Amino acid sequence: MLLASETGLLAQALEARPGLPWLVFSAAARPAEISAPLGVWLSPRRQGWGGDWYCSQDLLPLQSESIATIVVQHVGSPASALPWLSECARVLLPGGRLWLFALNPLSPYRRHWLGVDVHAHEPFSWRRSLRRAQLQTDALTLGLGARWHPQVDARLQHGAGIRAAYVLQAEKRRIPLTRIPARGLRPMDVAA
């Protein structure tokens, strides 16, 4: 139900920059509704990522600054994510966006995943990891998904609240080169 609630926003993220490549890291298989071309869909495997490609977890076989949009959907934890988030930052174009879908630990919906090997983390933890990877996070977190009952609810709300999941966005920004004006010569003191 939760993944179905996220499909519309996921498709929107991938179609935001038509004609530019995208990359998805997801715990789920690629939904049939995602028809955006020029992308790679990867899922966690025992030793790295699998799906459209197979590669190590800490090194993506992509050129630097070659991907416009990256989506991270329910994979990893903030504590162990720095190596592959740094790799995501490396392959993102300047101005490229990373969308991170994560489970909300404050939601009453968490009773549906208790006892399963699924972990939820607060947005603050993910923001800190994204900043360490040199990505600038948006101040606003969007909540989505059900609150109590297992039903598809794709409506977005400002802040995670008690929704089942939330979305963070981060952007790769490059500091522009600025010219430092030359110092003007000061006249000498005649008395000296």
Domain ranges for the chain: 2-171
pLDDT at residue 91, as a whole number: 94
The SS3 call for residue 106 is coil
Burial class (CB in 10 A: 0-12, 13-18, 19+), 162: middle
The continuous run of DSSP H or E covering 50 comes out as strand 48-51
pLDDT at residue 189, as a whole number: 66
* Dihedral angle computed from the Cα positions of residues 21, 37, 47 and 5, in that order, rounded to the nearest 10 degrees: 100
pLDDT at residue 167, as a whole number: 94
Q: Are 109 and 145 in contact (CB under 8 A)?
A: yes
Domain 2-171 in this protein, CATH class: alpha beta
The SS3 call for residue 10 is helix
Q: Beta partners for 70?
A: 23, 98
Q: Return averaged pLDDT per consecutive 10 residues of the chain, 192 residues in all.
A: 84 89 90 82 87 86 93 86 90 94 86 72 90 92 84 83 91 77 66 59
